[in-house]
Structure 1
Amino acid sequence: MGASADGTISRQPNACLITCLMVGFVTIPVVSVLIVGVIKDAKINPQGPQFRLESATVPQLNINGSELTATWDMTIVAVNPNHKLSMSFDSLQATVF
């Protein structure tokens, strides 16, 4: 702050203060969101679903020359170890070459 010619003190904004406030307004929410995310992740402890093939049968198998066609019946079990998270599948598609 400097004195003007008439002896009054001029009040110019301090550039460092404004910059620090702007950085704080951006940094504090970002850090807060990260902390909340880490706490939720630690509390929920998410784990991936477990899949297993319970049964598989081939009730229909056809061989015509070099072409092989089959009908497969499979039971796949999916277990969700997360009690606080859910999972759902609209469809499941598999292709065998």
Structure 2
Amino acid sequence: MQQDPNPRPATGYPYPNPQQQAAAAGYPYQNHNPYYAAQSNPRAVLIRRLFIVFMAFLIILGLILFIFFLVVRPQFPLVYINSLSVSNFNASNNQVSGKWDLSLLIRNPNSKMSLHYDTVLCSVYYRRESLSDTRLQPFDQGKKDETPFNATLSVSGTYVDGKLADSIAKERASKGTVEFDLRMVSFVTFRYGAFRRRRYLTIYCDGVAVAVPVTGSSGKMLGLSKKCKSY
């Protein structure tokens, strides 16, 4: 019997599965049908994209601020005490009286930023003990401006600890001087065009020696102008 050179599969014989054929041949089967591809979660994709946009915004904003502060360089004002005098000064029987007249020079070192000072609280201390304070009105400073600053502080018969009064008396007797500390605090706004930055400012002038002999009640600051600390 002669065989058919092109045999055909009999009717009803199962057609080979391409996935099974690929597995038998040792090759991984690839499904190119897009309807069988894994579907991504739209919400997860949206959240991922928003996160990328947010991080890019933060990086750009950080670079802008970094370049801005490199160019502008906000600096605290420079403060010098020019004079400090006291009159009607007395410290005895746990009481202190006196009137302090203060003269400062405040300099804005910024060449591109103006300054605005809110209400300034000015205080005089002796060994960290407040003796008197006063509030002064707000003021502005232009770029590179210098502003004279004057203040008067007074106290009459305020109570102090006995040790403090004794310390003042001993210092006057031994040196003929009394060292006072001055402190001023204010909120300062740095202004550059539309840019605004508000900072808390403390000005501290420590160890300002005032000649007040035991036999007198008035005296003036010793030495020349002295630079104060600003922070």
Measured against the shorter chain, the TM-score band is: 0.7 to 0.9
User: Among residues 51, 75, 82, which one is paired with 1:47 in the alignment?
Assistant: 75
Residue 12 (str. 1) matches residue 39 (str. 2): yes
Taking the aligned partners of 2:122 and 2:79, their CA distance within structure 1 comes to 15
Taking the aligned partners of 1:64 and 1:8, their CA distance within structure 2 comes to 97
Partner of 2:166: none
Greater strand share, 1 or 2? 2
Matched length: 93
User: Among residues 17, 26, 31, which one is paired with 2:59 in the alignment?
Assistant: 31
Partner of 1:71: 99
TM-superposed CA distance for 1:28, in Å, is: 0.5
Taking the aligned partners of 1:48 and 1:25, their CA distance within structure 2 comes to 36
TM-superposed CA distance for 1:49, in Å, is: 1.2
Structure 1 or 2, whichever has the larger Rg, is: 2
Taking the aligned partners of 2:53 and 2:95, their CA distance within structure 1 comes to 67
AA of the residue aligned to 2:121 = L
TM-superposed CA distance for 1:86, in Å, is: 2.4
Cα 1:89/1:83, change in 2 over 3 Å:
farther
Indicate the RMSD between aligned Cα atoms, in angstroms. 3.0
Taking the aligned partners of 1:82 and 1:8, their CA distance within structure 2 comes to 65
TM-superposed CA distance for 1:14, in Å, is: 6.6
Q: Which runs of 5+ in 1 are unaligned?
A: none
Greater helix share, 1 or 2? 1
What TM-score results when the alignment is normalised by the length of structure 1? 0.73
TM-superposed CA distance for 1:65, in Å, is: 3.2
Q: Which runs of 5+ in 2 are unaligned?
A: 1-29, 130-231
AA of the residue aligned to 2:123 = A
AA of the residue aligned to 1:67 = Q
Taking the aligned partners of 1:8 and 1:39, their CA distance within structure 2 comes to 49
AA of the residue aligned to 1:69 = S
Contact in 2 for aligned 1:60/1:72 (Cα 8 Å): no
Percent of pairs with identical residues: 18
Taking the aligned partners of 2:124 and 2:102, their CA distance within structure 1 comes to 13
Cα 1:89/1:54, change in 2 over 3 Å:
farther
Residue 94 (str. 1) matches residue 123 (str. 2): yes
TM-superposed CA distance for 1:93, in Å, is: 2.4
Cα 1:72/1:53, change in 2 over 3 Å:
same
Residue 22 (str. 1) matches residue 50 (str. 2): yes
